[in-house]
Chain A
Amino acid sequence: MSAEPDHAELVEELLAGKHRALARTITKIENRAPGYRNLVSRLHQHTGDAEVIGITGSPGAGKSTLVDKMANYYRERGETVGVIAVDPSSPFTGGAVLGDRIRMASNVGDMDVFFRSMSARGTLGGLSTATTDAVKALDAFGKDKIIIETVGAGQNEIDIVKSADTVAVLVPPGSGDDVQMLKAGILEIADVFVVNKADLDGADRTVQELREMVHMQQDNTASLATGHHGAGATSGHGADTDAESDDDGESDEETQSWEPQIVETVAKDGEGVEELVGTLADHADYLDASGLLEEKARMRYAEEIRNLLRDDVGTLLEDEIERRGGIEAFAQQVLERETDPYSVADDIIDPLEDCLEE
């Protein structure tokens, strides 16, 4: 691996603010081009300043349109924005049509909104594994806000919590009955619920159902300390009590926790965007004040280290299997009942275990 390029020049250009260098960096990350790890590790010390927001929700919920309006809002406040929009790729050809750029109408011609489409490239969970590294590139480039828009995959698309500080889940009106609200998955990861297309029939009912769900969830998780929404009690500020009472919140001793907020928007008209952005900022403040931001980052890095090691070990094992005649040969032996999968795995891993124990 020592012969790989270290991309020092590319990093320099990126840090100097060259859009082309940022774009090329993300490409290298996506392609896992030779030396891309060096590239990302060079970027790391320049990261940590951006606020990372994840937007998720079912297809057609209006994610792209909302992201466009949010980016526009941040720009009007003088902040720079990076957007990563993930779209699905074909399981057959690997090809993809990435069409979320069409929705970025409010920001065309504004280079300070750096919009990048990414294909999911076959990963489950709706988020390409390269997304987290691409976020680092945008962060190092100096973007104030980074918005990740996930594939509109559906109920189990929860990878976004591993990449974003704040997660907004879009719930269009009439998206199922109250049993849907009981299910596990995407609805559990929301820091903010956005009932988009709030001008449609059924919006009120969806808001009501979400509200009930949030209260039930809050009662349940209070004693469980699952980590995601913090280990607080139920006495946090809520949507229907007093959402803006952040100053009181801090005097709430250690018992303060974040209750998922519910915001109504009509993304196509930009309605409710200001309120949403405010709520996202509240959550960021909460993370900061409670120390959760650091805790999340720590957990994220731990997970990242684990993933890298898992990949590396996987590669080592692949090489070892190749050396021993390939996986097909092992599979054939198992098929002929000469051995079994567990024994094969033991045989291959034992020497490694011995090495490490010494």
Chain B
Amino acid sequence: MSADSEQQSIRCLVAKVGLDGHDRGAHVIARAFRDAGFEVIYSGLHNAPDEIVQAAVQEDVNVLGISILSGAHNTLVPKIIEGLKEYDAFEDTLVLVGGVVPDDDKAELKELGVAEVFGPGTPMEETIEFVRENAPER
């Protein structure tokens, strides 16, 4: 193989935003993404929206997966999207939300620019497939 052959890799940031202290789900999804051949950046617990924006911009990820269980998605997700726009990073980042989100809020998040919301019990393959099909190219 030539060293110059292109090596595109899907890069995902898995982020826990806000105050909830449960990241079992984030670990599981990080592992599943890894096994799917993605490069996963895990940013740890208790991130503030601007920390996530900073990480997403610097790491130049194709996919940003935000995990929220606290119910604060309506305040936190818009801040993240705003931040991405500020750095011209919103257009080519696939934003996903995972966690417990009521249907009404789901529609609202999608209107804001979230590509998909994955609730509890979503099969891992479904999420991976969605990422494969929708991750913007770099």
Taking Cβ atoms with an 8 Å cutoff, the residues of A that contact B are: 19-20, 23-24, 26-28, 30-34, 37, 89-90, 93-99, 101-102, 108-109, 111, 114-117, 119, 121, 129, 311, 314-315, 318
Query: Is there an interface contact between A98 and B60, defined as CB atoms closer than 8 Å?
Result: no
Taking Cβ atoms with an 8 Å cutoff, the residues of B that contact A are: 1-9, 11, 30-31, 33-44, 47-48, 50-51, 54-55, 57-60, 87-89, 138
* In-complex Cβ contact of A97 among B4, B5, B40, B87 (8 A): B40
20 contacting pairs across A/B (C-beta < 8 A): A19-B58, A27-B11, A28-B138, A31-B7, A32-B6, A89-B39, A90-B35, A90-B37, A95-B33, A95-B37, A95-B40, A98-B39, A98-B42, A101-B44, A101-B55, A102-B42, A102-B43, A102-B44, A108-B51, A116-B58
Query: Is there an interface contact between A119 and B9, defined as CB atoms closer than 8 Å?
Result: yes
Least CB distance from B118 to A in Å reads 19
Query: Is there an interface contact between A315 and B39, defined as CB atoms closer than 8 Å?
Result: no
- Among residues of A, the one whose C-beta sits closest to the C-beta of B11 is A27
- Among residues of B, the one whose C-beta sits closest to the C-beta of A117 is B41
Cα separation A319 to B64 with both chains bound (whole Å)? 39
Query: Is there an interface contact between A101 and B41, defined as CB atoms closer than 8 Å?
Result: yes
- Among residues of B, the one whose C-beta sits closest to the C-beta of A23 is B60
Least CB distance from B17 to A in Å reads 13
Least CB distance from B56 to A in Å reads 9
Across the A-B interface, give the 8 residue pairs with the lowest CB-CB distance, nearest first. A102-B44, A23-B60, A95-B34, A311-B3, A315-B2, A93-B37, A95-B37, A27-B60
**Residue from the set A23, A34, A115 with the largest chain B CB neighbour count within 10 Å:** A23
Cα separation A117 to B48 with both chains bound (whole Å)? 19
Query: Is there an interface contact between B38 and A20, defined as CB atoms closer than 8 Å?
Result: no
Least CB distance from B106 to A in Å reads 28
Query: Is there an interface contact between B55 and A119, defined as CB atoms closer than 8 Å?
Result: no
Least CB distance from B91 to A in Å reads 11
Query: Is there an interface contact between B6 and A97, defined as CB atoms closer than 8 Å?
Result: no
**A32 touching B9 in the complex, CB below 8 Å, given contacts A95-B33, A111-B54:** no
